[in-house]
Each structure stands twice: as structure tokens, then as C-alpha cells.
Amino acid sequence: MNTAAYLRRIGLPDLLDAPPTAENLRRLHVAHIERVPYEALEIWLGRPTTVDPAESAERIIRGRGGYCYHLNGAFSLLIKELGYAVTRHVGGVQGRGGEPAITANHLVLTVRGLPSEDNPGGEWLADLGLGDALHEPLPLVAGIYRQGPFSYGLRHSEVAPEGWRLDHDPSGSFIGMDFDSAPADMSAFTAMHHHLSTSPESGFVRVASVARRDASGVDLLRGLALSRLGNGAHSVTLHTARDYYSALSDVFGLQLDDVSEEEKDALFGKVFEAHEKWVAGTPA
């Protein structure tokens, strides 16, 4: 992986030779979450991806994003190269109407050995792959944490022995997330990644989703519905391809330089058709 290019991508070239510290981890996490969007447009473009962190990192360096396996996988590779002690874990996101479980529909990271004034134990939860959730890493200590307009609870999991549970803010897109304490290899996510990227039941397949978190809220694009949660909350429907691609560029930093004009026309056509079916009350 081209570590220098990755750091330039997130605007932190000065951290190439910086020591691993809690503050530098925070800077890396914040910069990454603000500059690399949560997105699943490759599915709608018909471009299969893998969970290989090196592949994900190269795609991010080229200006794209991804979802949890891509974002957390690539970030784990980046910070490991920078000297951080990072561990991957199998997690499970609990959607609304679902039950808590370790389903492997989420990849979680913990980083250890970084004591700070508010976290003497030095172990942190780092998670860039939850879309509308964390902005900064959390101390891996039970408690309630406020980040901007949202509050998160961290406690021991009831479904994962010695694991942890993150309770999302009530306004969030899911209820919470549990993760196992054991280290995980990326192969643990291969089957679920295939399901999430191909199954008609997958939310990524049903809705073209993009999200970008910042200090004061989160921008969300689901189909043609663009909304802002947190400070400056609003929502608008994007009716044209020009508006859609302007929003991807201006709000989410997705220039889509790797997508041809023909692919863009096809992508917008698919998103527009799915949106029209949703408006009409027909399953997309």
C-alpha cells in the first residue's frame, strides 16, 4: 500500500513519520470519516468488490469510498503501517426490527496501547464503517459519549462473551452494534459480503446509499433523497442527473473520475427507476 498517498488522500501527510498516539489516532479517524464517504455505488455500477484491505485502500486512494469491510479494512491496514496495534473483530449491526447478534455483517476495529488522560487503559474502538455513527474513536470503556449532536452508549455485550455493545443515538439509522472480543481474519466476512452486495434482500442492493459524517452531523443520500441530520437539518429530492452528480461531488467528495459517462447515465437511470418505484409504493 502507498501509505504516503493514502495520507494525502485524507489530508494528513504530516503523520507519515508521526508516532502512534491517542491524539494522532483521533486525527486519522476524523480526517478519514470526513473525507472518505460511506458508499455502496460499486454495487449499482455492477463492479464486484472483495474484502481485501489492500484492494479497498487502492480504491480509496483513487478517490472512492466503501462500506464497513472496505473502510475499516483499509483503515486497519493504514494505521498498522503507521505503527498502531490494531485488531479486527467480527460484529453485527442490529437494524430496526432486528435482534442483536454477531452476524458478520460488520467489521470492527480496536486499537490498544494508546493511553490518554480520559482513557488510561489505552484501548479504543475505531469504526469508520457505520455510516451515520461515530465521528471520533471511543475509549473502550463503558459509558455514554457525546459527539456533536449525537450520543452513543458503550457497554458489555449480552450476545458476545467478553464482547462489547455500541448503542446508537435514537435518531440513527440502526439500533446498535455488538462485536466479539476475539481477533478476526478478513475471510470471516467473505460470505456476508457476497450476500450484502448481491442479494435482493440487501439494503445496499435495494437502495443506492452514500453517507458522510462530520463534527456537527451527517449527510445522507438514499436514492434521490438527500438529507442532513444534526445541525442544519434539511431534506431535498434530487430530480436530475446533474443535481445527483453535483451532490455526490459537492457534499460527499465523490468526483467519480473512475466512472465513464455511459456508466453514469446507466447508474442514474437505475437510481431514478428505484426512486420512482419507491414513490409509487412498489418494492424496488
Tens digits of residue pLDDT in 22-48: 999 999 999 999 999 999 999 999 999
The pTM assigned to this predicted structure is 0.96
Average of pLDDT values for 213-228? 96
pLDDT of 187 reads 98
pLDDT of 278 reads 83
Per CATH, domain 205-279 is 3.40.30.10: no
Distance separating alpha carbons of residues 181 and 17, to the nearest angstrom = 30
Tens digits of residue pLDDT in 131-163: 999 999 999 999 999 999 999 999 999 999 899
State the alpha helices, DSSP H only, in 66-125: 68-81
pLDDT of 231 reads 85
Contact 179, 160 (CB under 8 A): yes
Contacts with 161 (C-beta within 8 Å, 6 or more apart), sequence order: 180, 181
Average of pLDDT values for 201-221? 96
pLDDT band at residue 12 using 50, 70 and 90 as cut-offs? very high
User: What's 18's DSSP letter?
Assistant: P
Contacts with 242 (C-beta within 8 Å, 6 or more apart), sequence order: none
Contact 105, 130 (CB under 8 A): no
Tens digits of residue pLDDT in 267-276: 999 999 999 9
**pLDDT over 80 (residue 284):** no
pLDDT band at residue 281 using 50, 70 and 90 as cut-offs? confident
Pairing of strands 138-139, 143-147: unpaired
pLDDT band at residue 283 using 50, 70 and 90 as cut-offs? low
Share of the chain above pLDDT 70, in %: 99
Distance separating alpha carbons of residues 127 and 134, to the nearest angstrom = 7
pLDDT band at residue 282 using 50, 70 and 90 as cut-offs? low
- How far CA 98 is from CA of 72, 95, 193, 237, in Å, comes to 23, 5, 19, 29
Rounded to the nearest integer, the mean pLDDT of the chain is 96
Average of pLDDT values for 221-247? 95
State the alpha helices, DSSP H only, in the chain: 3-9, 22-35, 41-44, 53-61, 68-81, 190-198, 203-206, 241-250, 261-279
Provide the residue ranges of all domains of the chain, joining segments of one domain with +. 205-279
Tens digits of residue pLDDT in 98-117: 999 999 999 999 999 999 99
pLDDT of 248 reads 98
Contact 197, 49 (CB under 8 A): yes
Average of pLDDT values for 45-59? 97
Show the cell assigned to 261. Answer: 459517462
* Residue with the three cell numbers 488522560: 117
Tens digits of residue pLDDT in 162-173: 999 999 999 999
pLDDT of 280 reads 83
Contact 204, 195 (CB under 8 A): no
Distance separating alpha carbons of residues 151 and 143, to the nearest angstrom = 10
Show the cell assigned to 274. Answer: 428505484
Angle between helices 53-61 and 68-81 (to 10 degrees): 90
